[in-house]
Structures are given as C-alpha cells and as structure tokens.
Chains A and B, each alone.
Chain A
C-alpha cells in the first residue's frame, strides 16, 4: 500500500463518517421520520377490503354449505335441517378463527353475502376453544326439536287442509275439472298425505350437509 492509498483511506474514513453522521442527524432531529405507532392508543386506518375476522349474518344465511365446501382449512362447520317452509334452518354455525387463514374464499362464494369480513383483528384467549366463534347461541338439539315440531305441525295442518279440500272438492267442484273428478275423496286424501310425507319429513337434512 503506497502513501497515496494510505492517505486516501484516511480521507475516505473521515468523509464517510461525516456522511453517515449527517444522515443520522437528520433522522435524529426530524420528528416526521418517526414510524412508531403506539398501538393500543393509536391504531392504523383499516384499508378497504381488509380481511379481518369473519362474521356470518345468520338471518340471511341460507345454509347453502358453499363456505364449508370451499374452506381450504376446514374451519367452518354448520348444521342445518329442512324447515317447515322448505327452507334450510341453521342449527349451528361455527368458525374456528384460530384455524382460519383469512383467504376470503368463503366470503367470495357466499351467494347471499351473509358471510363477511369484519375489520376486527384483535383477539386473545387462554384456551383454544375460545377461538371458535359460535354464531348461533341456541343449542343445536333444541333448534332441531323445535323445527321438527314446527314441521310436524305444518304437516298436520296441511293434512287437515287437504282432508277438508278433498271433502269439499267432490261436492262443490263437480262443475270444475271434469277429468279431476275421477279420484275419490278418500284416495285424494291419501295421495295428498303421500305427497306431503317425503318433503316434510321430520328427519334431519341429508348426510353431506352435516359433514364438517
């Protein structure tokens, strides 16, 4: 190393140190450079389309099972039964938020937009069970029993209605449809009953829907 390189080293050391110190001084005195967000007191603004915790509006949910099927980590599970009005009734709707990876696929597939992301992102618990969100607080068995009762009532009502109709049809409606006159009142009642039974059956929904 010659003398020139030696002196060059010294000059470079001084110059680069001065340069670095100028930069740190700028950071030191300029309060706008501060990037710290003092979390519990200050929060960042949630951006639009932020995928936070999931929320299901159970009033609009149709229990279509799309979210359960699409969820890649199987964190959603639901149970439903066919209600009196032929629509599915939710018995339970649980999301294991500890397992959820916030991919948003379930929200995307939801046909009635009942499942949505909230801006929430804070949750802590001492047991993993607390991380399962129950959107239906009522006991599933109770709901099932209630729905079964309603279905039975509806079936009974329909049967009674059909019976009345069947009784009324031949007496008042002889002038009506001539072709319809063929079945006898008792047969009509039986046919109506037979038509009702399979659709309004009190048994719970088919097996695939209970999966998950």
Chain B
C-alpha cells in the first residue's frame, strides 16, 4: 500500500503536499470498500444461486417471483433483513449479544485481505498469508460462542458449544492440508504460492497434480474446510431440525444478516483458498499474465481466479444439497480418527516426496524427460 501511495503521489502532483500516511490510509479505505462491495455482492448473488441450485437438485424451481426469473430475490431479502426489527431478548447479555455478530463478520471478512484476486490484485500480500487466514477465521469461533452464550437460550448455547468444538477440531486438518502447498512454494504468502503453480505446464503446473499426496491433500482440505466453516453436511451449530437455528436463533434483522453474510464470506474464502493453493490461482494456462499491460493482465487473471473460485463455490453448494447432516459423534470421529491422521500422513508423504525428488512434481519430471 505504501508503495502504491508513493507512486500515486508521484503521478498526481497536487497530492505532493498531503502527508503520505493520509494517502495510504485513503487507499486502504478505498481497497476495503471495493472488497466489501465485492463480498456483499457475492453474498447476495450467492444466496440466490444457492437457492436456485437447491431448487434444481430437489426437483423444484426455486425463487422466481422477484424480478425476471427471480434474479432480484437477494435484493428483496436484503431489504427485508435491514428493515426487520432488531430484537434483543430480555434476559440476554446485551453487550455480548450486540458484539457477537461483529466478531463473526470481521473474522470472515478480514480473510479477504490476503485473497489473491489477480496478478496485482491483492489488498495486502502478507508474507504470512495462509497463517493469517487461519488465525483470523478462528475469530469466528469466539463470535459464535458469544452469540450462543449471550442469547440465554438453550438451543443457541448448544449451537455455540458445538461450533466451538467443531471449528477448533477442524482447524488442525485444515492447516495440515494446506501445508503441502506452502512446502512446494516455500512461502506462506498466497501470491508466492500462486506464482509457484504457473509456468508452461498449464493446468499440470497446479499443485493438485504435483504429486499424488497433494492430490489427496486438496480433497482433504476441501472436506475439512467445509466442516470448519459450518457448511451443510457439517452444519451442526445451526442444525435447523435439531437446534431450530442454532447459535443465531435469537437474532433478527441486520444482526442476523451479519451472521448470514459471514457464512457466505466463509464459503468464498474456502473456495478462494483452495483455488489459490491447489488449482493454480489466477494463473492463465500456457501464458505469463505478468507480460501483459497492467490493466489487461489483472483483468484476465481476475477473471480466471473468479471463475475457478465460483466453480468451487458451486461444488460446495452441490455437496451441501447432497449429503445429510452428520451426528455430533460422527463429526468428531471424522475429525480426529480420519482427517487428522490422514492429513498428517499426507503431509509426511509430501515432505518425503519433495526431499526425494528435490521439489519436482510428476508433471515436471515428465516434462524434463522430453527436454
């Protein structure tokens, strides 16, 4: 951001008198606003697509009344959420009750900072990118637990407890499944990880096809991440049929909306991370995006990245409407008896592979055979 601010000051002479930190701050605010708008749009359209996909899969039609073919449904939903009365239960812990949605939303939205949208489109290319995402999304646990506790409602408390147990458990497989990508790139920065998957191998440069272990790693990450973000086969914290609506049962209006937005934000973060770490990120096959003019390169890479990420989101929705919800014990067993050991074995496998073959993947070796 500092560098960008500096170049902006150089490019626009009237800005020379303004302190550099002001320009930097302004740029940050603009970047945050752009990402916020993107996130909100994604969440709105995502909710509509989710319902349409649900309709298709369940042999129904889905929303089709608001606007042509129902495409304005999300606007109606949003307006409804904003206009609804904001109710705080009489016996709730008022301060924590009001605080909880912000924790959840911030935890989900802050992860957008390091999402590599394009070759130069990233809010902040932190050198601890993946670590940052893992840390910041853990804030959601606190928010969910707070919401459950502060509502003074048995269902909400049960949902919050479940969420805490579930998210903490699944953090481990998620982290372990992402480490192979870090090992291959040799960096925690998401831009570095994406760059490491470029080159002339096309889609075979992706970490997904690097070696058999990374291939499994992708699926392990996808499964564990769905559980970590409370997506439907693992949506025990809000299990409608058992806990009414779980931790957010007492929330209404815009506060409920924040939980809702956070859920969709998490969905996108999972899709974006799996795209960046395993599916080549914004890399265009057989092509160096960096050689294009800045604007075209960024637009092209943005398009590629969003296409992959949205495809992943669609697959998540597909899984969501296919599998029935797990039981609590099944969920815990899956985390501790299956995913944790498997991801560790996988990590060991990737490490050994990189040690033995000196960091080369199968496609790279095949390519080097043919010169």
Q: How far apart are A134's CB and chain B's nearest CB, in angstroms?
A: 37
Among B36-61, those with CB < 8 Å from A are 53, 56-61
Which residues of the partner chain A approach B322 to less than 8 Å between Cβ atoms? 17, 20-21, 23-24
- In the complex, the answer to whether A27 meets B58 with C-beta atoms within 8 Å is yes
Partner of A20, one of B53, B56, B323, B338: B323
Q: For A25, what are the chain B residues with a Cβ–Cβ distance below 8 Å?
A: 318
- Let me know if A9 is at the binding interface, CB within 8 A: yes
What residues of chain A lie closer than 8 Å to B60, measured between beta carbons? 34-36
Contact partners of A23 in chain B: CB under 8 A: 322
Q: Does A28 contact B (CB under 8 A)?
A: yes
B319 lies within 8 A of A21 (CB) = yes
Distance of A34 Cα from B319 Cα, bound (Å): 20
Interface size bucket, B side? 10 to 19
**Within 8 Å of chain A (Cβ to Cβ): is B131?**
no
Interface-central residue, A17, A24, A34, A36, by most chain B CB under 10 Å: A24
A33 touches B59 (CB 8 A): yes
Contact A28–B323 (Cβ < 8 Å): no
Q: Is B321 among interface residues, defined by CB-CB distance under 8 A? A: yes
Contact string against B for A residues 1-25, beta-carbon threshold 8 Å, 1 for contact and 0 otherwise: 0000000011000000100110111
Interface centre among A17, A21, A28, A29 (most CB of B within 10 A): A28
- Rounded to whole Å, the gap between the CB of A14 and the closest CB of chain B is 8
Asked if A24 contacts B59 (CB within 8 A), the reply is no
**Contacts A17-B322, A21-B318, A21-B322 known; A28 to B61 CB distance under 8 Å?**
no
Q: Is A127 close to B, CB under 8 A? A: no
Contacts of A60 in B (CB 8 A): none
- Quick check: A38 and B318 within 8 Å, CB to CB? no
Residue of chain A at shortest CB distance from B315:
A21
Asked whether, in the complex, the Cβ of A9 is within 8 Å of the Cβ of B338, the reply is yes
> Number of A residues whose C-beta is below 8 Å from B?
16
Chain B residues, Cβ within 8 Å of A35: 59-60
Complex Cα–Cα for A22 and B56 (A):
14
Once the chains bind, are B318 and A28 in contact (CB under 8 Å)? yes
Smallest Cβ distance from A151 to chain B, in angstroms?
Answer: 61
Chain B 164-191 per-residue mask, 1 if CB under 8 angstroms from chain A, else 0: 0000000000000000000000000000
A17: B residues at CB distance < 8 A: 319, 322-323
Residues of B within 8 A of A9 (CB): 338
User: CB-defined interface of B275-296 with A at 8 Å, one 1/0 digit per residue?
Assistant: 0000000000000000000000
Complex contact A36–B61 (CB within 8 A): yes
Given contacts A20-B322, A20-B323, A36-B61, contact A27 B338 (CB under 8 A): no
- Determine the distance from Cα of A9 to Cα of B60 in the docked complex, in whole angstroms: 33
**Given known contacts A9-B338, A10-B338, A29-B56, A24 and B321 CB-to-CB distance under 8 angstroms:** yes
**Distance in Å from the Cβ of A117 to the closest Cβ of chain B?**
31
CB-based contact B57/A24 at 8 Å = yes
| Chain A, 25-53, CB within 8 A of any chain B CB | 25, 27-29, 33-36, 38
In the bound complex, CA of A20 to CA of B321 (Å): 10
Contact of A28 among B53, B338, B342 (CB under 8 A): B53
Nearest B-chain residue to A34, judged by Cβ? B59
* Complex: A154 Cα to B319 Cα, angstroms: 84
Chain B residues 18 to 75 lying within 8 A of chain A, measured CB to CB, are 53, 56-61
CB distance from A102 to the nearest CB of B (A): 29
Q: How far does the Cβ of B103 sit from chain A's closest Cβ, in whole Å?
A: 33
A182 to B63, CA, bound (A): 93
Cα–Cα distance between A34 and B53 once the two chains are bound (Å): 12
In angstroms, Cα B62 to Cα A38, docked, is: 11
Query: Which partner residue on chain A sits nearest B219 by CB separation?
Result: A14
A23 to B321, CA, bound (A): 11
* With known contacts A17-B322, A20-B322, A27–B59 Cβ distance under 8 A: yes
4 smallest CB-CB distances across A and B, nearest first, come from: A24-B322, A28-B56, A28-B57, A36-B61
List 4 other contacts, CB 8 Å, given A24-B57, A27-B58: A9-B338, A10-B342, A24-B321, A27-B56
Q: 23 interchain pairs (CB within 8 A)? A: A9-B338, A10-B342, A17-B322, A20-B323, A21-B318, A21-B319, A21-B322, A23-B322, A24-B57, A24-B321, A24-B322, A25-B318, A27-B59, A28-B57, A28-B318, A29-B56, A33-B59, A34-B56, A34-B59, A34-B61, A36-B59, A36-B61, A38-B61
